[in-house]
Amino acid sequence: NKKITIAIDGFSSTGKSTLAKQLAKHLGYVYVDTGAMYRAVSLFAMQNGYIDADFFDKQSLINSLPFIKLQFKFNPDLGFAEMYLNDVNVENEIRTIEVSNFVSRVAEVSEVRKKLVEQQKEMGKAKGIVMDGRDITTVVFPDAELKIFMTASPETRAERRFDELKSKGQNVPYEVVLKNVQERDYIDTHRDDSPLVKADEAIEIDNSHLSREEQFDVVLELIQEVT
Ligand code: C5P
């Protein structure tokens, strides 16, 4: 079977990464979580005091971009790659609600997007890749053989994110999680540079009422059609 590129976009907490990981494992492909890259840049901005609730020093972040090194390193014990920021494993730090609250503002900055998109295109050159994010079907790999747009109701998504945070020991109230999900949806779909939109040729999957297995089977069939 020929190796293809699978591009997945969608709102936050639609289960994109769960599906992408399943697919990568099944196909022997590389999985790239581009949200982790935007999260790591946001963490860098927080660590250096460039962003706060009511303040964002964009220019300092832009000036620092050449000094931000992002890498994925496969962890064989976990079976997936973890995010490294300047050689430090930040996989846990980037998943906190604090980072979630800032990341969409950082992702609005064109200079940030340019740097990350370049790196993402490079990673996909060899094909055999599953990449998820907000602009993968439209900007990073508009020519991907398979493009998927995932949706689910905001409440379903907030419940999933709430459970995920809880399982990691972060007891954030459901209302706070729902608000974060809705705010990110708004910013991600309304920004000037690479807003989240469904590409014309992307296949929409609403998984509000699909189990992981059902969703996986649907996508495997789609893959068979294009390979
Ligand atoms: O996928 P995840 O929820 O971790 O992404 C975090 C945030 O990063 C998104 O809400 C969005 O603002 C930004 N993002 C983006 N483009 C991508 C991936 C993520 O703007 N390709």
Q: Tens digits of per-residue pLDDT, 151-185? A: 999 999 999 999 999 999 999 999 999 999 999 99
207: amino acid identity, one letter? N
CATH superfamily of 5-220: P-loop containing nucleotide triphosphate hydrolases (3.40.50.300)
82: amino acid identity, one letter? E
ipTM exceeds 0.90, yes or no: yes
Binding residues: 10-18
Per residue in 96-119, is it b (16+ CB within 10 Å) or e — as a string? beebbbbbbbbbbbeebbebbbee
CB atoms < 10 A from the CB of 127, how many?
15
- Report the residue among 16, 21, 38, 113 best suited for mutation to probe ligand 1: largest number of ligand atoms under 8 A from its CB: 38
Angle at 128 between CA 126 and CA 130, to 5 degrees: 115
- Report the residue among 103, 106, 130, 187 best suited for mutation to probe ligand 1: largest number of ligand atoms under 8 A from its CB: 103
Instruction: Tell me which residue of 1, 101, 115 sits closest to 56, measured CA to CA.
Output: 101
Q: Which atom of ligand 1 is nearest to the CA of 107?
A: 20
Q: Which atom of ligand 1 is nearest to the CA of 116?
A: 21
User: What angle, 0 to 180 degrees and rounded to 10, lies between the N-to-C axes of helices 110-123 and 34-47?
Assistant: 140
Q: Tens digits of per-residue pLDDT, 192-217? A: 999 999 999 999 999 888 889 999 99
